[in-house]
Structure 1
Amino acid sequence: MSCFGPRETNQFLLLGPENAGKTTLLYKLKLADNWKKLEIIRDMKAVKEKENFGFHYEEFRGSKMTYGIWDLPGKKAARPLWPIFYRYIQIDAVLLCMDKMLLFDQSAAALETVEEMKQLLAFMVHEPELRPAAFAILLNEKDNGPLLEDLTDNDVREILGIPELQLVSEDRIKVFTLNTADVAENSGVWPKVMDFTRRQIMSAAKD
């Protein structure tokens, strides 16, 4: 972090596997209830189908912090490109979005995806460029999904191997449950996510 404190616009990476709800989250934050308009749905589909692994970027001006979110594609073939962003852009927070159902699904595909996210998290928290960054785990609880028992923060930490991480302050990583299709910039869970990231940004600025 800069010795002069947080920059005017803090930068966040929005990562996760395919169909986790990342692009829905970005559109819902930016457009509120207008996000379901037909032309927007078409744009979302086009973003997901881009063969050149296109990304999305939006800026938000909150009452306490101005921030930009980089929504990167979750395809396996695109994941090796993720480090390009945080090695050339100073990233203040990583938002790792996952379908909550994955944590209950015992299919081989789901277990593989969870293991991939576990390994990704372990890799990224130790990257030199991301050591000051906050990590928010966003569990997407979809409207049309089955009713799921509650998972405690400690349950999710165990599943993702967070207690096993070496030399990582637990304060840097926090778990949130939300519905990306129902998120609001100024109410519900999202302000809590932003309060967490803002506190970590301010803490890193003092180091």
Structure 2
Amino acid sequence: MLLNKFKSEKTYRVLMLGLEQAGKTTLLYKIKLGETVDTIPTVGFNIETIKPADNIIFDVWDGGGAKKYRPIMRYYFQNCDGFFFIVDSTDRDHFQEARDVLFNILQDEYMDPVPFVVIANKSDLCSAAKSDEIIEQLNLHSISNRSWHFQSTSAVTGEGIVEAMRQLAHMIRTSRKK
């Protein structure tokens, strides 16, 4: 019985990536602390261990999304079990840039075939794009070489966050069985 507990509570190393101001750090601390905190732009990485649901433990590496930090992102890809790609669902002007960043990540040798969840954050706002629009703009349906999932969330209200975490954990576990 004790052995099963340890086996089911494996810690997964996951990255939280995306453009600046998408809400990556706010999302991380909403999960970690259960409350919305004021954040400043991330320089480098925030690293936190979280337990968003039963039998799920993530060591989360929350990377700064500013253009100047993108070249160093790949140094954190090695030994990554999965990742979250956070998109600001209200920022239509940057969907193409987000798509380009996502596809650059997917083309990296260390990220093949790492599963991921696209989190459309800020979905609680009136100006948020609908899921279908974001999926189309990010060209997600063209991705067939790995498991992916799309989840609308709000880092402020907490809507959709646990579902996104559970889905990534499920995809990681499934990919390890192959």
- For Structure 1 versus Structure 2, the TM-score category normalised by the shorter chain is 0.7 to 0.9
Structure 1 residue identity aligned to 2:60: I
Structure 1 residue identity aligned to 2:122: E
Determine whether 1:168 maps to 2:158.
no
Matches within 5 A, 1:2-17: 8-17=10-19
Task: Give structure 2 stretches of 5+ with no counterpart.
Answer: 1-6
- Greater relative contact order (CA < 8 Å, ≥ 6 in sequence): 1
Task: Give structure 1 stretches of 5+ with no counterpart.
Answer: 104-109
1:159 to 128, 137, 160: 137
Q: Does the CA contact (< 8 Å) of 2:23 and 2:88 recur in 1? A: yes
How many angstroms apart in 2 are the aligned matches of 1:65 and 1:21? 22
Matches within 5 A, 1:1-207: 8-33=10-35, 35-36=36-37, 41=38, 44-45=39-40, 48=41, 53-61=43-51, 62-87=53-78, 90-103=79-92, 110=93, 113-141=94-122, 145-148=125-128, 150-152=130-132, 155-165=133-143, 167-169=144-146, 172-183=147-158, 188-207=159-178
**Highest CA radius of gyration, 1 or 2?**
1
How many angstroms apart in 2 are the aligned matches of 1:142 and 1:150? 8
Structure 1 residue identity aligned to 2:47: Y
Q: What percent identity do the matched residue pairs reach?
A: 22
Which position in structure 2 is the counterpart of 1:107? none
Residues 18-66 of structure 1 show CA distances to partners (whole Å, capped at 9, x for unaligned) of 1111111111111113x44xxxx3xx33xx2x7xx33101101341221
The normalised TM-score by structure 2 is: 0.83
Kindly report the root-mean-square deviation, in angstroms, between the aligned alpha carbons of the 2 structures: 2.4
Looking at secondary structure, tell me which structure has more helix per residue: 1
Alpha-carbon distance, 1:125 to partner: 2.2
Alpha-carbon distance, 1:136 to partner: 0.7
How many angstroms apart in 2 are the aligned matches of 1:118 and 1:192? 23
Q: Does the CA contact (< 8 Å) of 1:139 and 1:175 recur in 2? A: yes
Residues 59-93 of structure 1 show CA distances to partners (whole Å, capped at 9, x for unaligned) of 01341221111111011000111000013xx1111
Looking at secondary structure, tell me which structure has more strand per residue: 2
